[in-house]
Structures are given as C-alpha cells and as structure tokens.
Amino acid sequence: MRLGIGKNIVLSGFMGTGKTEVGRTVARMAGMAFIDIDDELERCSGMSIPEIFAEFGEPEFRRRETEAIRTISAHQRAVIATGGGAVVNPENVELLRRNGVIVCLTASVETILRRVGASRNRPLLQTEHPEKRIRELLAARQAFYEKADIVIATDGKSPQAVAEEILDRVASWKSSGKGQ
C-alpha cells in the first residue's frame, strides 16, 4: 500500500505504546523509510540514552533530542518514531508538524507497565515504584499527547493491527484536507 503523500508519519506517545515496532511495520507496509529519533540520537552521541542521562542529565538529553528532531524532521515520506517525552516541547512539535502528521499511540498504565516496567533502558522509570512514576508522567503529559492530529489506542491490538489503523486514519485525515 502506498500513501501517495510526501508527508512524514510521526509517532508520538508514552514509553511502551509500541512506537518503534508499529513504526517499522507501517514503514514496511507503506514503502516508507523508518527513522527512530532515539536511535539517531544515540548514534550521533556515541552513547546510549541511559548513559546520556547519567552523564549529562535530562536537560542535556532534551537539548540533543531537539537537535536530532531538527535534522530528522527535514525528511520526507518517512515514518518517524519519537521518544515518549518529545512532544512536551512545543518547538519539537512545530518541527515535526511542518512536514508530518502526528499520530499519538496510547496504552493503559497496566499495558505500559507490562511492556516497559522492568526495562533498564528507560532512565525515567528507574525508581522503586515505576507504576507511580508512569501515572505521574502520564498525568503531566496527557494534554500534550492529546494535541496529536490522530490518537490511536493500542491495548489488546497487534502491531500489525495498529499499523493498519494508522494507515487508514492517515488516509482519511489526508482526504479530509487537514493535511494541506
């Protein structure tokens, strides 16, 4: 399936909502390139994300994230997976929206906890109570996630099913004229 649009499909959403796996599936189905912002950031920094947080702290991670978004958002016809905190900064959203439709993936706290609760790769969840942290972060970010052009719930759905839903919804969004 080809979308026939030059726009990027940008996936936002909390950690554990499936942005990377779903993004790869969408890219394969639509014949688009796939770019993961966290992967690019790690490649450019020569460090892992936990290392960047440990060595320089979150503000420096966010600065590098915006730098990576500035470069990557200039692409066309790519599926771009963002890190879970990227859309909290309006500058990132503006950059990503210039050339793309923003699709936010959502999941319940239980699903998120099951998918990433024990992950060592999520510095923000390295606490005694990951569930409490997830709830706090979700509450603080909810309003930012809701600003996406399209919002899709992922609970109980396979990556393939979510990818198909994204392609359908993006096609309707485009034909409604909102993407002009």
**Given the rule CB under 6 A, which residues bind ligand S3P?**
15, 19, 38, 49, 83-85, 122-124
Only one residue has tokens 């936990």, namely 50
- Report in angstroms how near the CB of residue 39 gets to ligand S3P at its nearest: 9
Q: Identify whether the C-beta of residue 73 lies closer than 8 Å to the C-beta of residue 21.
A: no
- Report in angstroms how near the CB of residue 98 gets to ligand S3P at its nearest: 21
- Report in angstroms how near the CB of residue 20 gets to ligand S3P at its nearest: 6
Number of residue whose CB is nearest ligand S3P? 83
List the end-to-end C-alpha distance of the chain, in Å, as a whole number: 21
Q: Which is nearer to ligand S3P, 77 or 122 (CB)?
A: 122
Q: Which is nearer to ligand S3P, 97 or 122 (CB)?
A: 122
Helical H runs in 13-158?
19-30, 37-45, 49-56, 58-72, 90-98, 109-116, 130-145
